Structure 1
Amino acid sequence: MEKTLNILEEIAAKTRERVAEEKNKVSLEEMKQQAESLNTETGFPFENAIKEGSLSFICEVKKASPSKGLIAGDFPYVEIAKEYEKGGASAISVLTEPYWFMGSNEYLKEIRAAVDIPIIRKDFTVDEYMIYEAKVIGADAVLLICAILDDDSLKKYMQTADKLGLSALVETHDEEEVNRAVKAGARLIGVNNRDLRNFTVDINNSLRLRNLVPDNITFVSESGIKGEKEIRELAQGKVDGVLIGETMMRAGESRIETLKSLIKAGQI
């Protein structure tokens, strides 16, 4: 039980080691200069894509996860991203965490070159360096997880993202974290339906916490969304967007059709 209880802390600690190694290759100052030399007047395409109309779909490109292990042995990630775009996804989430999720910055760079819709870099942001890096590799948004950030870091990272023209999806999983995200001024709040202590999933977590988030903040439900029934419940619960990963990754050749039918289910 202890192992799963601390999975987030374990990933965060490993990510700090990874960032230290990356800083030896490209310094913070150099990464910052590269990021700031890019267009920062972006208009925040990621959050605008989630705001538009009915329930929006953020489809995830991931090879593995801590709860499921290897999800996709065969992993044509650029083709998968293109299928998401063709199927009607509003945005794409790309895992760049290499150890538990077998992700890579290269995946995001290549997907960025192949699709037009916005991309969120799905990683465990524990250092400002990672926000500059996200900008450099082509992301439109970053994930900030409340459980691994204190209030000062959360606010600082949101400001850095803002300055670079990146959206910040602030991930929460309980009332206290939702309140912290609202207080920090988050424009995008996600609720993780997976309890990382035991990997159980309950989409009622999103429905319950939705009521704590003001309507002017974009609300995203993340994890464990399997089919049309849950999509309808979330749409009826005034959720703005869903982040859907494993279901889409396992859809294989029927990926486009699966996505289209889920999108249709969300149109209430």
Structure 2
Amino acid sequence: MTILEKILEVKKLEVAELLEQHVPFDLTKEPTAKPTLFETLYNTQLLQVISEIKRASPSKGLIEGNVNPVQQALSYERAGAAAISVLTDQQFFKGSMDDLHAVSTAVGLPVLCKDFIIHRLQIEQAKRAGASIILLIVAALEQETLHDLFNFATSLDLEVLVEVHDVEELQRALLIDTKIIGVNNRNLKTFEVDLGNTAEIAAHFPFHEDRVLISESGIRGASDASTVAQVGAHAVLVGETLMRCANIDETLRTFHVKRRER
């Protein structure tokens, strides 16, 4: 069984528990006004950064177990992040919905609920906790479910980052007409990282349309940022590097390199 398959098995059990405990929630309440991720990224000339709060991962183990998510998020905001990503998976990444709620309340930036979403109820949870963006992973979902979850999220005024790993998955993402597409440079089956994934997807990406491309995982410095910026990426999603660095301001700003417009 791959790591992704193991995570999805756990998610099925978590969803079953959520369904048993479900309490109806007014999802029509007006959220605090925040800029949209798409608008922030679409016209940018410099590579932007989605900064992630990441306590642990299956591949790296514990990264920073004692992080204060609000302080970390505020540091990211001050350093010029375009958005904050909060890992909410507990078993594999040591995150929580409480982290998401605390961060979304504290910052004025769009906040991404980073999790393995397979059911509408998880999207409701994210909305309730203050997320402005959710993640849908193409590799984790059948096309019909992907489309349904995408439509449900957008009906709640959430933006959706749709994550792909290869050109076939890119085509599946385009079929649901998503505007924000992320390329995970980490193979979720083996957890190996290859920045070439971004270049491969970029070669087939419809940059002439109203869409943005985000490179995720494996961005360790300005050189990596330049590599993906030169093939057209609008932004990078960076977790481990920012969690481990001594100076968030200095490190984050090194990623703001000139991007090549496609």
Residues 41 and 106 (structure 1 numbering): CA distance in 2 closer, same or farther, change over 3 Å? closer
Distance 1:45 1:245 in 2: 21
Q: CA deviation at 1:43?
A: 8.5
Give the direction of change, closer, same or farther, for the CA distance of 1:20–1:42 in structure 2 (3 Å limit). Answer: farther
CA offset digits 1:166-216 (Å, max 9, x no partner) = 011110101111111111211111111012232221111101111212112
Structure 2 portions without partners, runs of 5+: none
Percentage of matched positions with identical amino acids: 37
Using the TM superposition, give the Cα deviation of residue 266 of structure 1 relative to its aligned residue in structure 2, in angstroms: 4.2
Question: For residue 40 of structure 2, what is the aligned residue in structure 1?
Answer: 49
Deviation at 1:81, TM superposition (A): 0.4
Q: Is the 8 A contact 2:132 2:159 kept in 1?
A: yes
Aligned match for 1:259, one of 236, 242, 252: 252
DSSP 3-state at the match of 1:229: helix
Number of the residue aligned with 2:240: 246
Residue type matched to 2:165 in 1? H
Find the aligned partners of 1:44 and 1:160 in 2 and give their Cα distance. Answer: 21
Question: What residue is the counterpart of 2:20 in the other structure?
Answer: 24
Q: 1:74 to 1:113 in 2, by over 3 A?
A: same
Match of 1:224 in 2: 218
User: Taking structure 1 as reference, are residues 210 and 157 closer, same or farther at Cα in structure 2, changes over 3 Å only?
Assistant: same
Give the secondary structure class of the aligned counterpart of 2:215: strand
Distance in 2 of aligned mates of 1:267 and 1:159: 31
1:187 aligns with 2:179: yes
1:20 maps to amino acid: A
One-letter amino acid of the structure 2 residue matched with residue 257 of structure 1: E
TM-score normalised to structure 1 length: 0.91
> Does residue 38 in structure 1 map to residue 29 in structure 2?
yes
- 1:40/1:118 CA distance change after superposition, 3 Å: closer
Residues in 2 aligned to 1:11 and 1:38: alpha-carbon distance in whole angstroms? 32
Matched letter for residue 199 of structure 2: L
Give the letter for the 2:114 counterpart: K
* Corresponding position of 2:55: 63
Does structure 1 retain, via aligned residues, the 8 Å contact 2:47–2:255? Answer: no
Alignment equivalent of 2:81, drawn from 83, 89, 98: 89
Q: Where in structure 2 are the equivalents of 1:38-187 lying within 5 Å?
A: 38-39=29-30, 45-53=36-44, 54-187=46-179
After superposition, the CA RMSD in angstroms is 1.7
Alignment check: 8 A CA contact 1:40 1:164 kept = no
SS in 2 for 1:170: strand
C-alpha distance in 1, partners of 2:4/2:35? 28
- C-alpha distance in structure 2 between counterparts of 1:243 and 1:168, whole Å: 14
- The answer to whether the 8 A contact 1:182-1:213 is kept is no
TM-fit CA distance, 1:56: 1.4
Structure 1 residue 260: Cα displacement: 1.5
Alpha carbons 2:214, 2:235 under 8 Å: kept: yes
Output the CA distance in 2 between the equivalents of 1:159 and 1:238. 27
For 2:140, the aligned partner's letter is I
Match 1:11 to one of 7, 10, 31: 7
Equivalenced residue count is: 257
Greater displacement, 223-232 / 189-198: 189-198
Give the letter for the 1:260 counterpart: R
